[in-house]
Amino acid sequence: MQKKTVWMGAGAVLLLGALLAWAFAPRPQEVEVAAVVQGRFEAGIDEDARTRLRDRYAVSAPLAGRLERMALREGDAVQAGDVVARIQPALPALLDERGLREQQARVAAAQAGVQRAAVRSERSRAVLAQAQGDLRRTEQLAQQGFVAPTRLDAERLAAQVARKDVDVAEQEQQVARADLAQARAALDVVQRPGSAAGRAFEVRAPVAGRVLRVAQASEGMVGLGTVLVEVGDTAQLEVVAPLLSTDALQVRPGSSVRIERWGGPGTLQGRVRSVEPAAFTKVSALGVEEQRVNVLIDLTSPPAQWAALGDGYRVVVRVLTREAEGATLVPVSALFPLPVVNGSAPPAAEPAAPRMAVFVVDEGRARRVPVVLEARGGTHAWVKEGLQAGAQVVVYPPAALADGGRVRLRAP
């Protein structure tokens, strides 16, 4: 009886110990995991931007007089040479010497504008010929493997920019000729006032496009040089992104751009044409003064895809600063900084020393693995060393998770 009681007491103690050990044993922590993949890495800068016309032209009154009521309205299409306004000249009783000299000066300025536009057109054609020659030589060297692909892309971009400059120069030459014709006609009205009696002077559009703004639609007196309408070609749009000056230093001409949230379906493609050299101060919504730099972006998507866009529309751009194919990608949410050992940071002589780490799930346990990052994007980071594609890493690791701790995958 006594021996049986001893055995029962010992069994109860063992059972109680087992229950206590089970009760206080660490439980596997529920975690979410994601796979390390091999794919395309992109890092960029997101910013609000707006569209604008590359060139807009203000049609002004070439002489003083009474403006007839205008039939044009915003959005109307006009061709080069179309009549946009009619002005009844104000004919003085005697010829005004001041008005005559003003018109003569206007003609002289218009002639100088034509000459300047012709010089710029010749210069742009010379630049285009040089860019095309450089591109041909670079393509030959690239086929032989002597030139990096980035150099070839830069030469192609330079040729595209030079070709657009030629188009702009030719358009400016056409505008200068139209201004000269208007100035000469106005001078003829001033010199021979009797010939203009009862006949309205016709103001014509310098280029083809759409009416952007009508400054004065009603009939009334206008002075010399008063702006009547603004005309522009909405097919020649560009995007202006005011980036922080610190971000603009990472942007180079030719960088790819994604244009999102522009109001239409899909994402538009663009390319950085230039970064303006001067910054400006802008006050943020929080009242903080920021130095901003305008980055000019050309739309490279087919024009039919963004035909609904107009001047001054709001868009969101993502300027890509780093791109790579076949990179080892890990979610940014899986990274955490390595703890500092002995209260000191690693020496500066070790730039490649791992400063970040992840938890890799291995046979039901979390193993802390240091990693070396090549670059970091918005959602994924490019891992240079420490991980292989296919590994399962813990995303948003709990604060209580330790190296070697047991884990259990959270049910979706």
Verify that 37 and 98 share a domain, yes or no. no
**What CA–CA distance (Å, rounded) separates 323 from 51?**
25
- CA 63, distance to chain mean position in Å, is 42
Residue 354 located in a structural domain:
yes
- Coil, strand or helix at 5: helix
**What CA–CA distance (Å, rounded) separates 99 from 224?**
9
Verify that 97 and 177 share a domain, yes or no. yes
Element at 290 (helix H, strand E): strand 289-299
DSSP state of 410: P
pLDDT of residue 244: 92
Residue 73 located in a structural domain:
no
**What CA–CA distance (Å, rounded) separates 139 from 136?**
5
Verify that 36 and 109 share a domain, yes or no. no
Residue 66 located in a structural domain:
no
pLDDT of residue 23: 55
**What CA–CA distance (Å, rounded) separates 412 from 397?**
16
Q: Would you write out the chain's pLDDT as a tens digit for each of its 412 residues?
A: 566 676 676 776 777 666 666 555 566 778 888 888 988 888 889 999 999 988 888 888 887 788 888 888 888 888 888 888 888 876 554 455 666 677 777 778 888 888 888 888 888 888 888 888 888 888 887 787 777 777 777 777 777 777 878 777 777 777 777 777 777 767 776 666 555 444 677 888 888 888 888 888 888 888 878 888 988 888 888 999 999 999 999 898 888 899 988 888 889 999 998 899 899 998 887 888 899 999 999 998 888 898 888 888 999 999 998 888 888 899 998 898 887 655 554 554 444 445 789 998 888 888 888 998 888 888 888 988 888 888 889 898 888 888 888 888 875 5
Which residue, of 177, 196, 215, is where some domain finishes? 196
Which residue, of 152, 178, 196, is where some domain finishes? 196
Count of domains forming the chain = 2
User: Which alpha helices (H) appear in 34-93, and where do they start and end?
Assistant: none
> Taking a C-beta distance cutoff of 8 angstroms, is the pair 241, 72 a contact?
no
Verify that 188 and 111 share a domain, yes or no. yes
Which residue, of 164, 196, 228, is where some domain finishes? 196
Verify that 36 and 98 share a domain, yes or no. no
Verify that 96 and 191 share a domain, yes or no. yes
pLDDT of residue 95: 52
Q: What angle do CA 380, 384, 388 make, to 5 degrees?
A: 80
Residue 152 located in a structural domain:
yes
Q: What's the burial of 259, exposed, middle or buried (CB within 10 Å: 0-12/13-18/19+)?
A: buried
Verify that 117 and 33 share a domain, yes or no. no
Residue 137 located in a structural domain:
yes
Question: Of 214, 178, 15, which is closest to residue 81 (Cα–Cα)?
Answer: 178
Contacting residues for 18 by C-beta, under 8 A, at least 6 apart: none
> Which CATH number belongs to the domain containing residue 331 in this structure?
2.40.420.20
**What CA–CA distance (Å, rounded) separates 280 from 290?**
8
Q: What's the burial of 142, exposed, middle or buried (CB within 10 Å: 0-12/13-18/19+)?
A: middle
Residue 268 located in a structural domain:
no
Residue 184 located in a structural domain:
yes
Verify that 338 and 397 share a domain, yes or no. yes
pLDDT of residue 350: 47
Instruction: Give the pTM.
Output: 0.62
Verify that 35 and 123 share a domain, yes or no. no
User: Which alpha helices (H) appear in 25-73, and where do they start and end?
Assistant: none
Residues for the chain: how many in total? 412
> Taking a C-beta distance cutoff of 8 angstroms, is the pair 243, 318 a contact?
no
Residue 188 located in a structural domain:
yes
**What CA–CA distance (Å, rounded) separates 119 from 173?**
9
Domain that holds residue 108: 92-196
Verify that 96 and 190 share a domain, yes or no. yes
